[in-house]
Amino acid sequence: MFENFTVPKELIPSDPRFGVGPSLIAMEHFKTLAETGSKLMGTSHRKSAVKNLVKEVQNGFRQYFNLPEDYQVVLGNGGATFLWDMMALGMVEKNSAHFVCGEFSDKWFRAHKKVPWIKAQEYKVDFGKGINPESKSDADMICTTLNETSTGVQISKLCEVNDKTILAVDATSGAGQIACDVSKTDMFYFSPQKVFAGEGGLFFAFMSPKAIERTEKIAADKSRYIPVVMEWKLAIDNSKENQTYNTPGITGLYLVNEQLKAMNKLGFAKVEKEAKRKADMIYSWAEKKDYLSPFIEQNEFRSQAVATINLDEKFSADDLIKKLRDLKVVYDIDSYRKLGKNQFRISLFHNVTYENLEKLTKIISLAIES
């Protein structure tokens, strides 16, 4: 459909990466990583060079999120997917309530549902709609996703929970640029390859004293089998020593630290304001064009981190996405594969600039209109 389309020179973005994960990593961070030479890469994570790096990342998160003093910044290998099982086995007592509005919140639910002694309940809306978490009297863990990367839904409100309930938030693609009062949560966790432009494979979790206490209570129940690699005590104790239980990828830690330093210079308020400016621009463009429409109709749930934009069935989003990739001007704006929509899914993450997003909108408009 778009075989003969070409992109005028003045519209070519300075970076073609618009994907929602892994996301655009700043090129200068690769250069400075290379300059660390033999100081970091290939050295032990039990020695000071790597431990200092981990400490800097932990303190960087404390500063950026203004974390309460008594919260622990816990990290480890395996990413958010690994944490779903680790929480199911070592943090849920009997009953978790899941607020589901896309593939990732659904996967989290399914991970808990597999555990024979957990009664996992799903509160689900059609994909494209939003749902805020609610307190449920029979649940000892409330599970919500700050930003549903598959559909482009962000939650607009947290719920209050009592002192026996853990409020757990998967913040993977929203942490850093979607407002969330971490002090109201017990387990705020994410993989860092989105807004924080790191690499896949790591997890970070900000844990309240209540969440830590829960893991201790469950660990004391010796009848429950928990694989060693998923023992919370090991993750927490190692994190206190600025280490991970098993060997981490140092590149990922380095990249997160550089990104965090840059974002801490701005502070959360400025980063969030820029995210909102980009989101406003993208959604108002989609509303203006009669061949486009925002997938998320409810304004309060429209993500300021991942924008999903439907395209009129007369045109093929896949064909245009392929053409733009072949031209090497725009990568990875495909809709989430399982949604099967004629749709663009566009990263609004911190490193994707307003100017490049504006160029992207002009490229898509030009391709459709010409």
Binding site for ligand PLP (CB under 6 A): 21, 79-81, 104, 145, 149, 170, 172-173, 191, 200
- Compute the chain's Rg from CA coordinates: 21
Minimal distance in Å, beta carbon 172 to ligand PLP? 4
Which residue number, 145 or 215, has a Cβ lying nearer to ligand PLP?
145
Nearest to 365 by CA among 357, 349, 151: 357
Minimal distance in Å, beta carbon 164 to ligand PLP? 26
Minimal distance in Å, beta carbon 149 to ligand PLP? 3
Which residue number, 143 or 292, has a Cβ lying nearer to ligand PLP?
143
Which residue number, 232 or 285, has a Cβ lying nearer to ligand PLP?
232
The CB-nearest residue to ligand PLP is: 79
CA atoms of 92 and 107, how far apart (whole Å): 16
Minimal distance in Å, beta carbon 48 to ligand PLP? 28
Which residue number, 200 or 249, has a Cβ lying nearer to ligand PLP?
200
CA atoms of 345 and 333, how far apart (whole Å): 5
CA atoms of 295 and 314, how far apart (whole Å): 17
Minimal distance in Å, beta carbon 174 to ligand PLP? 8
Is the CB of residue 188 less than 8 Å from the CB of residue 175?
A: yes
Which residue number, 108 or 283, has a Cβ lying nearer to ligand PLP?
108
Which residue number, 199 or 258, has a Cβ lying nearer to ligand PLP?
199
Minimal distance in Å, beta carbon 108 to ligand PLP? 7
Which residue number, 173 or 208, has a Cβ lying nearer to ligand PLP?
173
Minimal distance in Å, beta carbon 200 to ligand PLP? 5
Which residue number, 80 or 348, has a Cβ lying nearer to ligand PLP?
80
Minimal distance in Å, beta carbon 38 to ligand PLP? 29
